Every structure is written in structure tokens, then in C-alpha cells.
Chains A and B, each alone.
Chain A
Amino acid sequence: MSAISGRLVARIALLALVAVLVQDTVVSQISIVGVSADLTPLVVMSVGLLTGSLPGAIVGFFTGLLVDTVLVQTLGVTSLLYIAIGYWCGRLREVHDPAHGLVPLAAGAAATAVTGVGMTIIQFLLGVDSPVSLLLVQQIFITVLVNTLIALPVYALVRRIIMPALPDDPRRRRRRAYTTGGLSPLQTPSQRLGPMTRAGRSSR
């Protein structure tokens, strides 16, 4: 926690606020196959995957609270769900450290499904006459599909925004070095530096 800087907190707070506003003013009013995409669980999922379980849960709580406030809903409902999403995605990163590029896709689908199903269950438990019908199931399913489609771009955007403020992770540094080939154990130092050096010499 101590590694989290004020800069990171500010970026994440601004990100959450903008996400909620964009969701409320634009995305909610765009109908795709009869449903609208939901950016906020994807943002929480992305933050959880990038920063860990505890920041993920905290961001989930406050994002959910903001959503409930802006939409004048029952306070705490969305917070509860987003806490679970942020925490679970953070734990996914901490325990498994998935490196596959499609992990945000699966996590986005799961986060959206948790949001849709969880909201239905909570509303049902609160005694609200929620229309539990085939139409609702269909809407949740289509929302999951739509959110799955946009999960990767949202994740990439969130990553781009908060990555500069994240403390340098040794594992990430090591992975970057391996993927770029700079520290590959399969190459000798002369092979790693050879072509560039030779080119430099020949140019002189």
C-alpha cells in the first residue's frame, strides 16, 4: 500500500469519475442489440488486474458508490458488487500473474456477468419487484457479450492511463526484458549487442 503514490490515486480517481460520467452521459444512451455496454465494471476489473486486490477493492467500492450516487440508486449495492470484482481481479493478478493477452477479455466477461447476476440477486433480496424473466437473462447475456468485445480496448486504455504512475514492478521489468530479447538466456552478450555494434562500427 505504501507504494501507491498520490499521483496514482489521483489518476485512478479521475479515471473512475470520467468512466462514470461517460457511462452515464454517452454509453448508456447507445443501444447495441437492445442493450448498452457497461464501462464501469470493466474499469474496476482493469484497475484490479493492474494494481492488485486491495486497490482493486477500494476502487471498486468508490466507483460503485459513485455509480449509485449519480444514478440515484440504493447506495451500497453497486459498491458491494464492484468490491468483489476489483478484489477478485486483483487476486487473479497476485496469485496467478496471468500473462496471456486475452485475460482481460475473460475477466471482463466474468465481471459483467457478476454485475448483472449480482444486481438481480441483490434486488431480489431487497424485495424489489425485479422482472426475473427470460428477457432479463437475455439482456444480461448480451451485455456480457458486448462488454467482452470492448474489454480489451478498455483495459488497454486504463493501462495506458495508470501505468506511468505505477511503481516499477520487478516482475514486469523482467518480463519486458525477456520479451524484447534483451536479457534472453539463449543469447550470449556478443549476440545481444552484436548487430548494433557492428552497424555502429561500419557506419563510422
Chain B
Amino acid sequence: MHDKQVRRRRLVLLVLVVVSLVLLTDYFGESADSPLHSVQRGIVAVLSPVQEGASRVLAPVRDVANWVSGTLRAKTQRDQLQREVNALNARVAQLASQRIQNAQLTRELGLDQSIGAATYHPIGAAVISRDPSLWYQQVEVDRGSDDGVALNDPVLADGGLVGDVTTLNGSSAVVTLITDHSWAAAAEVLAGSGESGLLEPAVGSPNRMVLSELPSGASISVGQQVVTAGFTDPNHAGQGSLYPPGIPIGKVSDASQNGLVNQQQVKVAPLADLRRFESVQILTKPYAGQERAQAP
């Protein structure tokens, strides 16, 4: 009985496999208008309305499933796009930084040509640290005494004077900015008779300076450029300003008659954006051909 069942099972299996192979061979070898193809087309024609009806009936199921699938795919795409956005943001930031650096270097190059800074043996340096607070108006640069930098060397950036070297190491230097409360220099206005005075930071306004001790009756207007005076004391050889003459510092931002007449002072805005520059030029020989002024 068992053998009979086994034989029957194997026979049926063999028949099914043979029929499949015959169908496969015939269908594959025949042309498109063969009987097998015709039968297949006939069955498809019969089943087509059923398929169409089933498709309509089951459309909501399909839509829900596609919505779920689409949502999952959208989440994956969102994560991927977010990663791309992050990468592009980083790239944009890098390019913006390079653009700013490029503009600064371009201005420094222009400054070299306009004021003849090249004669003062400038060396380029990068800002490696910056005090984030307003308490200390200092930056640290990556050049030091090993590179020829000396104390009190003027430092230019972003088209104008930004400070001088106040602390020196072998490979780095600290630059005190012109807006630090301890900074002051003789400066003159590039207009009229070249009125000169003492330029120092404005109290309580870290990004504003005051040019004081101007002669009474001075004719100064807003927008005029203020540069270093670079004076020398004829009575005391080797003493005078730390800065060579003609280096741009800022522009007159407020020249009211009241200030000029009563206080003999005008307000000056620095040319350089003192919170943003990333590279500087240190004038290592500010008095090339002359004796170096002594620090006070």
C-alpha cells in the first residue's frame, strides 16, 4: 500500500515536471501566434476584467501600503538629504572663509602697494587665537621672534593698522589691538592741512576711537581718512611714534562742530573689522633706514 502511494506520488510528480518542461520548451520555441500563446492571451483576456476589478477594489489597500512605504522612503531620503545639506553647509562655510581671507589678502596687497608697506619688511601671519570676549583686545598670531618679529612691531590687516606686538615668543606673538584701552598713537587726518592729534579708543565703545588734541579751528569732515603720523622727536634722537607714517587706521565717523570746538576731537571708525580678520602682516622693520624708536 505504501509502495503504491510512493509510486503514485512519484508518477504524478514526474508528470507535472514533464508537462512543465514541455510547456516551457514549446512556448519558448513557438512564434507569438502559436496555439499556446493564443491560449495564454485568451486566458489573460478573460482574467483582465477580474484583474481590473481587483485592482480597483484593492486600490485603497495599495494606496495605504504605498503611503507607508513612501513615508519610510521619504524618511530615508530626508536623512540622506540632511547629511548632504550638512556637508554642503560645511563646504559653503569653508568657501566663505576662503573668500574673506582672499579679500583680506587682496586688501593687504593693495595696502602694500599704496603705502609702500613692502619697504618695512612685512611678514604674513595667521591669527591662531582670539579672545572671544571684549575684555582683552588681543589676538595671537603664528609668527614670533624666530621669524624676525620684535616687540612693538606694527600689525596690519584688512586694509589698515590693527595693533602692535606686545608679547613675543619664539613662534608666536600676541598683538594688542588698536581698540585696547592701553593703546594710543599719533595720527593725522588726510585732508586739508593734515590736522594731527592723539588717537585712542573711545571709552565704553570698543569699536570706536577718538582723535583728540586737535588744533582748534581744524576743518575735518566725516569720511576723511586717518593715518599714522609717524613723528620723530628732533630733540631726542630715536624717540617718536612706534609706527611709520601714512598707515591707514580709520575714517572719521563723527565730526560735529560741538566736538571740534569744545573738545577738539572727532570720532574715528577703524578701517579693519577687528573681530573678523584671520591673517595679518607684521612690519618687522617699521623704520627701515632709520633708527628704531624705543618703546615707552
Interface residues of A (CB under 8 A from B): 1, 21-22, 24-26, 29-32, 53-54, 57-58, 61, 64-65, 68-70, 72, 74-77, 79-80, 83, 87, 126
Question: Which residues of chain B come closer than 8 Å to A31, judged between CB atoms?
Answer: 66, 69, 73
A-B contact count (CB 8 A): 89
Q: How far is the CB of A63 from chain B (nearest CB, A)?
A: 12
Q: Helix, strand, loop or mixed for chain A's interface?
A: helix
Question: Which residues of chain B come closer than 8 Å to A77, judged between CB atoms?
Answer: 24
A57 B54 Cβ-Cβ under 8 A? no
Question: Which residues of chain A come closer than 8 Å to B61, judged between CB atoms?
Answer: 26
With beta carbons under 8 angstroms apart, the residue of B22, B65, B69 that contacts A76 is B22
With contacts A53-B9, A57-B16, A83-B16 taken as known, whether A25 is within 8 angstroms of B55 at the C-beta atoms is yes
B40-56 contact mask (Cβ, 8 Å, vs A): 1 or 0: 11011001001100110
Q: How far is the CB of B57 from chain A (nearest CB, A)?
A: 9
Known contacts A32-B69, A83-B17, then 8 further A-B pairs from the complex at CB < 8 Å, ordered by chain A residue: A21-B54, A29-B66, A65-B23, A69-B40, A72-B41, A74-B24, A74-B28, A87-B13
Question: Which residues of chain B come closer than 8 Å to A74, judged between CB atoms?
Answer: 24, 27-28
Q: How far is the CB of B1 from chain A (nearest CB, A)?
A: 12
Q: How far is the CB of A21 from chain B (nearest CB, A)?
A: 5
Q: Helix, strand, loop or mixed for chain B's interface?
A: helix
Q: How many residues of B contact A (CB 8 A)?
A: 33
B51 A21 Cβ-Cβ under 8 A? yes
Interface residues of B (CB under 8 A from A): 8-9, 12-13, 16-17, 19-28, 36, 40-41, 43-44, 47, 50-51, 54-55, 58, 61-62, 65-66, 69, 73
Q: How far is the CB of B53 from chain A (nearest CB, A)?
A: 9
> Nearest CB to that of B36 among chain A residues?
A75
B9 A75 Cβ-Cβ under 8 A? no
